[in-house]
Amino acid sequence: MLHLLATQDSGELLKGLTAVGRGIVYGGAAIGPGIGIGLVVGNAITAMARQPESAGTVRTTMFLGIAFTEALALFGFVLAFIISG
Amino acid sequence: MHHVLALDFPPVAHLIRWPNFWLKDSKYFAVNKVVLEMWLAVIVVGAFYFIAARRKALVPTGVQNIAEMAVDFVQNGIILQTMGPEGLAWTPFMLMLFSFIFVLNVFEIIPFLQMPVTARMALPMFMALLVWVLYNAFGIAKQGPWHYLKSSVAPPGVPKAMYLLVVPIEFITHFFVKPFALALRVFANLLAGHLILITFAVLSTALFTSTKVGAVLPGALLIALTGFELLVSFLQAYIFTILTAVFIGGAMHPEH
């Protein structure tokens, strides 16, 4: 393995590692918001099913919650583009 | 060219960067496709509401009908839900914000344009800074500078010792993260949508030239994603506007 790394062109290696890093950054950033948005929407649906008359208010609040949670995943998405080898 | 699974995929910078064709040497005022689309959006939104308001029929038809639906949506769906009845004075601003961002976003799927203006950071950042100035200015005007600062960085009902931790976090959140995240939300969503559409378009083209039948599935997905991006355009315009309403409403009426 070390021999293989040593014989590789270091530019190529850097490119490959950059690509891996970008993948990890976005993948990691998507885990938390994925769970979070699931919780937000799931609980909003429960609330709407229990009290259909409050659906309008719940939907507005749900979109707000989604927007705040989703921002974290988007930070990761943008960071993945910013990383350069 | 990046090779992804033996496909030629253009680098990201090629997909969102357009050549300047007017005032080419100017550092800040060069005009490219994105700037032209921005001007087009201003004309489209302006003309739409101008035509809608020209003949104020009691029973609305056509353009007037859509415009009244938009006003109703902004008043009932956004302002009354977040700012209460006294926020109705903000209707013109919120309506313009919503319509303008929606048109900028929807250019993503309009044939021959197919580039959302909001996939470049400049305009979202400008609009977020405008909102930042507005909510700070109105917070200071309504509450006074000291009380506004206190109500925005020190939430009530926190144990005294915790303020050491809470105040710096709230300060950074309120004055830096909020406007940045507001701009980033619409920017990143539209950039991601643009990239996904291009990915499937490139895939469909490559499979069509090589196998013909293989392009059916990605082609169908491309059409479905175009519909999805219409939803995203609407949703992001809605979210930007509703967050603006929440920030301005929150600055004017702090939680006690």
Q: Specify the CATH number for the domain of residue A63.
A: 1.20.20.10
Please judge whether A63 and B242 are an interchain contact, meaning their C-beta atoms are less than 8 angstroms apart. Answer: yes
Give residue B5's pLDDT band: very low, low, confident or very high (50, 70, 90).
Answer: low
Residue A83 domain-assigned? yes
Written as six digits, the tokens of B252 are 């004017």
From B254, B239, B247, select the one nearest B77 (Cα to Cα). Answer: B239
Q: Would the CB atoms of A74 and B235 count as touching at under 8 Å? A: no
Neighbour-count burial of B26, counting CB atoms closer than 10 A to its CB (0-12 exposed, 13-18 middle, 19+ buried): exposed
Domain encompassing residue A69 = 38-85
Nearest by CB to B81, from A57, A67, A81: name it. Answer: A57
Inform me whether the pLDDT recorded for B24 exceeds 90. no
A chain contacts of residue B238, beta-carbon cutoff 8 Å: 63
- The answer to whether residues B119 and B191 touch, using CB atoms and an 8 Å cutoff, is yes
CB contact under 8 A, B185 and A67: yes
* Residue A62 located in a structural domain: yes
Q: Please give the Cα distance from A79 to B42 (Å, whole number).
A: 31
**Cβ pair B238:A75 closer than 8 A:** no
Please report the pLDDT score of residue B172 as a whole number.
Answer: 94
Residue A81 lies in a domain: yes
As beta bridge partners, residue B4 has B7
Backbone phi, psi, residue B3, to 5°: -100, 115
Contacts of B246 in chain A (CB under 8 A): 64
Q: B159 is written with which tokens?
A: 């144990």
Number of CB pairs < 8 Å for A and B?
Answer: 37
Rounded to a whole number, what is the distance in Å from the CA of A64 to chain B's nearest CA?
Answer: 7
Pairs from A34-43 (Cβ < 8 Å, separation ≥ 24): A34/A73, A36/A69, A36/A72, A37/A66, A37/A69, A37/A70, A40/A65, A40/A66, A40/A69, A41/A66
Shortest CA gap B55–chain A (Å): 32
The residue written with tokens 């921005």 in the block is B38
Backbone phi, psi, residue B31, to 5°:
-110, 125
Q: Judge contact between B27 and B20, C-beta under 8 A.
A: no
Pick the more confident residue, A42 or B28. Answer: A42
Residue A69 has a pLDDT of: 92
For chain B, the domain total comes to: 1
pLDDT tens for A44-62 read: 999 999 999 999 889 999 9
Alpha helices (H) in B84-215, listed in sequence order? 91-106, 122-143, 145-153, 163-172, 178-211
Closest CA of chain B from A63, distance in Å: 7
Is residue A55 situated within a structural domain?
yes
Q: What is the 3-state secondary structure (H, E, C) of chain A?
A: CHHHHHHCCHHHHHHHHHHHHHHHHHHHHHHHHHHHHHHHHHHHHHHHHHCHHHHHHHHHHHHHHHHHHHHHHHHHHHHHHHCCC
Count of domains observed in chain A: 1
- Confirm whether A80 is domain-assigned: yes
In this prediction, residue B19 carries a pLDDT of 87
In a domain, A71, yes or no: yes
Q: Do A64 and B238 touch (CB under 8 A)?
A: no
- Which of B118, B177, B239 is the mutation pick for testing A, counting most A CBs within 10 A? B239
Residue B59: which domain range? 2-252
Task: Tell me which DSSP letter residue B2 carries.
Answer: E
Which residue among B12, B77, B184 sits closest to A74, beta carbon to beta carbon? Answer: B184
pLDDT tens string B169-222: 999 999 999 999 999 999 999 999 999 999 899 889 888 988 888 889 999 999
Q: Which of A26, A60, A66, A83 best probes binding to B when mutated, by most B CB atoms within 10 angstroms?
A: A60
